[in-house]
Amino acid sequence: MDSFPDRYGTWAVVAGASEGLGEAFAAALAERGMNVVMVARRGRILEAIGERLAAEHGIAVRCLELDLADAAFPGALREATRDLELGVLVYNAAFVPMGPFLDNDEDAIEAAVDVNVRGPLRLVRALAPALKERGRGAVVLMSSLSGLQGSPHISVYAASKAFNTIFAEALWYELIPHGIDVAACVSGAVPTPGYLERFGRKVPGMLSAEEAVRQTLDRLGKGPRIVPGRINRFAHQLVRRLLPRRTAIRLIAKSTKHLG
């Protein structure tokens, strides 16, 4: 199999790269020989991660301190990468309002829509045309098993993840004739700092960020929906094909009832 740079291009963009899955994507792509553009609001953290990846893997890194909720970020990102041969685009950032929907702060709901929905739309619209023009590339949008059904107490987050799955599936069909692999990574729980802060406990099927990312990158090009982990794939099929909708919602509610 061709290397990632040969297959897709020499540079990857990872949005939401300052911790957790985003940091793991940046590290895994660097390990596979790709130069990395790391994007997040926390510039100092990005610089520290970027220096480590450059030293460990001998790759080039660009760190962009941008707010993914800002409508101006796609233009700034496009301008900052205009001279690069982009190959892989990863959108990982997410905002999670917690608690009953009617108790959610309006600003938090708007932030979730900006980061979780408008963010990936803007990123793909800004950068994917260059991939199409070159005739190769890949797009990975992070989704979640919580988006398979209504998820009480994280309703906006779960709905946004369902959006990303469906958006990625449509892009997969539209872009594969142009040499671009697209996939939604429908992840189960991952013990990232954000997850541990909110949920504070491990659950069956939990994978490390590094393992979830490895499985995702290994399966790029094999279909529009990637579910890392055997237990998570079983849960995915169970929810989609066997469980009544009401039962699936009640099950997820048991694990989220303490939130908010």
pLDDT digits (tens, 9 = 90+) for 159-216: 999 999 999 999 999 999 999 999 999 999 887 776 666 666 667 778 999 999 999 9
**8, 91, 132, 161: the active-site residue:** 161
Per the prediction, the chain carries an average pLDDT of 94
In terms of CATH architecture, what is 4-256?
3-Layer(aba) Sandwich (3.40)
Q: Does the pLDDT of residue 22 top 70, yes or no?
A: yes
Report domain extents, the chain.
4-256
Say how far apart CA 224 and CA 112 lie, in whole Å: 24
8 given a catalytic annotation: no
Q: Looking at residue 16, what is its pLDDT? A: 96
Residue 1 has pLDDT above 70, yes or no: no
> Residue 9 above 70 pLDDT?
yes
Q: Which residue has the tokens 């090009």?
A: 221
Task: Give the pLDDT of residue 197.
Answer: 67
pLDDT (0 to 100) of residue 260: 65
**What is the model's pLDDT at position 256?**
86
Looking at residue 194, its pLDDT comes to 67
Question: In the numeric block, which tokens belong to residue 173?
Answer: 């069909």
Rounded Cα distance, 65 and 39, in Å? 6
Largest interatomic CA distance in the chain: 51
Is 157 among the residues known to form the active site?
yes
pLDDT for 190: 87
pTM: predicted TM-score of the whole model, two decimal places: 0.93
Contact 34, 10 (CB under 8 A): yes
Q: Does the structure show a pLDDT above 90 at 258?
A: no
Burial label for 2, CB within 10 Å (0-12, 13-18, 19+), is: exposed
Q: Which of 157, 222, 254, 257 is catalytic?
A: 157
**pLDDT greater than 70 at residue 52:** yes
pLDDT digits (tens, 9 = 90+) for 89-132: 999 999 999 999 999 999 999 999 999 999 999 999 999 999 99
Query: Which residues, other chains included, contact 52 with Cβ-Cβ below 8 Å and sequence gap of 6+?
Result: none
CA distance 104 to 101: 5
Percent of the chain with pLDDT over 70: 96
Whole-angstrom Cα distance, residue 260 to residue 256? 9
